[in-house]
Amino acid sequence: MSLWLVTALSCHSMGPGWQTAPRLGGEASEAELEPVHFSGFQKMQIKPGEDFSRYETIAFAPPTLSFKSKPRNTTQGLTTNNRFPIEPNFVLSAEEKASVLNDLTEIFTQELRRSQEFRWVEEPMSGSLLVEAALVDLVMQTPLGLLPGSQSRWIRTPAVMTLVITLRESGSNQILARVVERRSALPNGTTGTTLAYSSGPVENFAAFRNTFDHWAFVFRTRLDATKARADGEDEQSEHLGSRGSSPS
């Protein structure tokens, strides 16, 4: 069976699940993950032939954050020369970094708790799905908090970042799927462009949370659809098997 291509649905609908061709014999390594089209993300890979109907519980691991390059700009520098650098790449304080990761954890946790197909667990057990999220190649276009003095700056996004989600089977630690998407944090919508706004901590944190909301919703709904379809295929197989059996 060839790779199943489905019609892309709006990000506001549940959307199709993920599916690849079954693999005959052996286990797929990380290098053998196959691409999925119309996954809801820029890049999606999944273990060929994985049966998601056998998973019942799901957990979320503590996320991580890393920069594209070492941040070198600070609000102290803005105080000194009163102008923004040509290549903005601002530092996050320890408190700001913790807040961003806490927001990511809270939003994904709340969304996964809404799952119609998996039961949320605080700690993964043997056979659970474990969601590992990382924000990588982060570039801060502006300080996340208040600008020094009376400065103001109109921006369209406070940051550009890449989300990497690795879906593992807890216990075996086997990688089942991987998602990669690079996106600007937008406060007023999940796609396209947004109107410029005056940079400030409330608005900038809202842009991060809005982006996390979008990612979490697409991931959860597509994963739910994948499990629901797998359950349906199992029921259909059992029904066909019972029809084909003969009385003893």
Domains of the chain: which residue ranges? 33-222
Q: How confident is the model at residue 156 (pLDDT cuts 50, 70, 90)?
A: confident
Residue 211 reports pLDDT greater than 70: yes
Query: What is the spatial distance between Cα 104 and Cα 120, in angstroms, rounded to a whole number?
Result: 16
Q: Which residue has the higher pLDDT, 62 or 234?
A: 62
As a whole number, mean pLDDT of residues 23-40 equals 66
Which run of H or E residues covers position 209? helix 201-244
Q: Which residue has the higher pLDDT, 66 or 187?
A: 66
Q: What is the pLDDT of residue 213?
A: 96
Q: What is the pLDDT of residue 77?
A: 62
The greatest distance separating any two alpha carbons of the chain, rounded to the nearest whole angstrom, comes to 90
- Pairing mode, if any, of strands 174-184 and 43-46? antiparallel
As a whole number, mean pLDDT of residues 170-189 equals 90
Q: Which residue has the higher pLDDT, 27 or 15?
A: 15
As a whole number, mean pLDDT of residues 94-99 equals 95
The pTM assigned to this predicted structure is 0.79
- In the block, residue with structure tokens 């982060």: 138
Q: How confident is the model at residue 189 (pLDDT cuts 50, 70, 90)?
A: low
Domain 33-222 listed as CATH 1.10.10? no
As a whole number, mean pLDDT of residues 214-230 equals 93
CA distances from 24 to 27, 49, 102, 108, 174 (A): 9, 8, 41, 34, 18
Instruction: Choose among 241, 223, 185: nearest CA to 53.
Output: 223
Mean pLDDT of the chain: 80
Share of the chain above pLDDT 90, in %: 52
